[in-house]
Structure 1
Amino acid sequence: MAWVFLLLAGAAEMTAMFFLKLSEGFKKWKPSILAILVGSASFYFLSLSLRELPIGTAYALWTGIGSAGTVLLGIFFFKEKANPKRIIFILCIITGVIGLKMVS
């Protein structure tokens, strides 16, 4: 279950960043509240995963999922540039996440 909790934490982190962008610096209250709630859920699921997983591995995977996923959300929903260099570095993050999963 620890890996499921970690995946949920990463997905919640991506979602929180999505709502944070929509909040426009906490100027819009609905996305602001959603960002805080989903961000809190992310920390909660991360804490559950830490019951079984090493902290270094869990944190690296959580930030990797959140970072790569947030970049992809930016590309698809906010029309951010998807140049080849960005894609290569996202793939590097994903490769690192998979590698940590394999050795844990």
Structure 2
Amino acid sequence: MAWLALIMAGIFEMFGVLMINKLHKDQNLRAFLLLVLGFGLSFIFLAYAMKTIPMGTAYAIWTGIGASGGAILGMLIYHESKDWKRLVFIAMVLSAAIGLKLVS
């Protein structure tokens, strides 16, 4: 269950990052509240996961999901660069997160 919570924390982290961009563009209360909700839920799920998963592993996987997911969503939603080099480094981040799961 802790690993599922950690994945959910990463997904809400990605949502929070999207809402930062939305707030920057729209500057309205709704975007701000969604940003707070996204990051708030992310921290709640992360805290729950860290009751079982070691801090270093949980934090690394959480940031890996958030960073790579945010970059991928930026490519898909905001038409950011899809250069092959970016994709290689995103794959490296995801590989490191999977590696940490395998050794934990």
TM-score past 0.5 threshold: yes
RMSD: 1.1
1:32 aligns with 2:42: no
> Which residue number in structure 2 is paired with residue 17 of structure 1?
17
> Which residue number in structure 2 is paired with residue 85 of structure 1?
85
Query: Size of the alignment, in residue pairs?
Result: 104
1:8 aligns with 2:8: yes
- 1:65 deviates by 0.3
In the aligned structure 2, how far is the partner of 1:42 from the partner of 1:77?
21
Note the 1:54-69 alignment, pairs <5 A. Answer: 54-69=54-69
In the aligned structure 1, how far is the partner of 2:71 from the partner of 2:29?
24
AA at the equivalent of 1:27: Q
In the aligned structure 2, how far is the partner of 1:78 from the partner of 1:25?
12
Give the gaps of 5 or more residues in structure 2.
none
Give the gaps of 5 or more residues in structure 1.
none
- Among all aligned residue pairs of Structure 1 and Structure 2, give the percentage whose two residues are the same amino acid: 38
In the aligned structure 1, how far is the partner of 2:100 from the partner of 2:26?
35
